Amino acid sequence: MYNCEDKKITSTLKEDFADLWTEDVVEAFFWTDEKTPMYFEYELSPMNYELPILVPNFHGDFLGWRPWHYDGDRRTRHAAHINKNGDAVESWTAEIFIPYKLLKPMQNVPPQKGTKWRANFYRIDHDNGNTEWSWQLTRTNFHDYERFGTIVFE
């Protein structure tokens, strides 16, 4: 779950699979196997539009691929809510469930106890230009997967 303080929502795109990163958005990246330079990226806008993609990244040359058969138990579940006090925006929240079936055929999926994935989590806010927050700092951009943090499954 993401809790995003925000006094102004910048979110005009009204469809899934749009270029959501150009506006307010939260993002999650999961690199399940360090032997392969490929990871899953998920974006969700304050208006509850999503962008799930698989990203092959070869030395900074990357472009996302949309999921095939994105329905049923392979589809994410998500919710975004804009929190207001009267007419004034105070924040927005994003909740995301990514099923392991969507991540197949990536390796180490589903994870077992002790499995390590590399991951990173971001938020982009466009109130005054482009403000970015991340769990792990990157050098050049969000796709600097070698700088992702590590999550361990219990």
Q: What are the distances in angstroms from CA 100 to CA 26, 35, 43, 109, 112?
A: 20, 19, 17, 6, 12
Q: Supply the range of the domain harboring residue 71.
A: 2-152
CATH code, domain with 6: 2.60.40.1190
The answer to whether the predicted template modeling score (pTM) of the entire model surpasses 0.85 is: yes
Tens-digit pLDDT profile for residues 22-46: 999 999 999 999 999 999 999 999 9
Phi, psi angle pair for 132, to nearest 5°: -125, 145
Instruction: State the total domains in the chain.
Output: 1
Mean pLDDT value across the chain: 91
pLDDT of residue 136: 73
